[in-house]
Chains A and B, each alone.
Chain A
C-alpha cells in the first residue's frame, strides 16, 4: 500500500491566519489526492479532489496544490468553522489510503 504522511499532526492557529498542511506519499500518486475535513463525531467531508479541484459548495478559501509525492492544503484565512481535523487520501492505486490527519486547533 502507498503510505501517506501528514505534517504537522497538530496546528494551533488564530482566526484569519493562513494555514498550510502538507501530505507526502511513499511513491508517486500523480495528481490523485483528495482532502477531507472532519469535525468531532461527524462524517468526513470531501473538500478537494484531484489535488486542486474544489468540491461543490466548499468555500474558495480552501485550495490544494502539489504533484507526485508532495501535496498541500491551504486555508487562506482561517474561519471559526474551519477548526477540525484534515485528512489527505491517495487514490492512484488500490487500496486507497489516508494520511493520519492534522488537527487544526484554536490558538
Chain B
C-alpha cells in the first residue's frame, strides 16, 4: 500500500527551527519526486518544496527559499524538511505528497495525514 506518514510538527517560537520527516513506502520512494505542501488554519493549499526521485533536483517556493531545506534519506525511505528562521506565517498543517506521475509536474494523488506546525511566542 502506498503510504506517506509525516512527523515532527509542534510548537516553536518565531526565529526557531523544526525538522519535519515523511516516511515513504518503499514501493514509491525510489520512483517519485516527493513534495511538501502546507495549509494554514482555515486557508487554502500552498506548495512549499519538492525533491526529485534521485535527489538531484530541488525546488522551493519563494516564501520559504533560503529558510527551508528539503532532503531525502535513501537508507530510511524518508524525506525531510528542515525549517529555520520560522515566522508566525509559517503556521500550518504540513503535508507530504507524491505526484500522480513520476518527476514531472503533475497532480498530487497521495497525501500524508499532515503534521501541524505552530509558530508562536
Contacts and interface: CB of A to CB of B under 8 A. Distances in A.
A98 interface: yes
Q: Give the interface residue-count category, chain A.
A: 20 to 34
A43 B47 contact: no
A34 B45 CA distance: 13
Contacts, number: 51
Contact of B44 (A46, A91, A95, A100): A100
Interface stretch (B11-19, B69-77, B99-107): B99-107
A97 B114 contact: no
Nearest to A48: B107
Contact of B105 (A1, A36, A55, A92): A92
Given A95-B47, A95-B61, A44 B105 contact: no
A55 B109 CA distance: 8
A91 B45 contact: no
Contacts of A34: 107-108
Given A32-B105, A96-B105, A46 B100 contact: yes
A46 B109 CA distance: 6
**Which of B45, B59, B61, B112 has the largest number of chain A CB atoms within 10 A?**
B45
B111 A44 contact: yes
Interface in B93-121: 95, 100, 105-109, 111-114
Given A44-B45, A87-B44, A101-B44, A49 B107 contact: yes
Q: Which of B47, B61, B112, B114 has the most CB of A within 10 A?
A: B47
Interface of B: 44-47, 59, 61-62, 95, 100, 105-109, 111-114
Ranked 4 nearest A-B pairs via Cβ: A34-B107, A49-B107, A98-B45, A91-B105
25 contacts: A32-B105, A34-B107, A43-B95, A43-B111, A43-B113, A43-B114, A44-B108, A44-B111, A49-B100, A49-B109, A87-B44, A89-B45, A91-B105, A91-B106, A91-B107, A93-B105, A95-B47, A95-B61, A95-B62, A96-B47, A97-B47, A98-B47, A99-B44, A100-B44, A101-B44
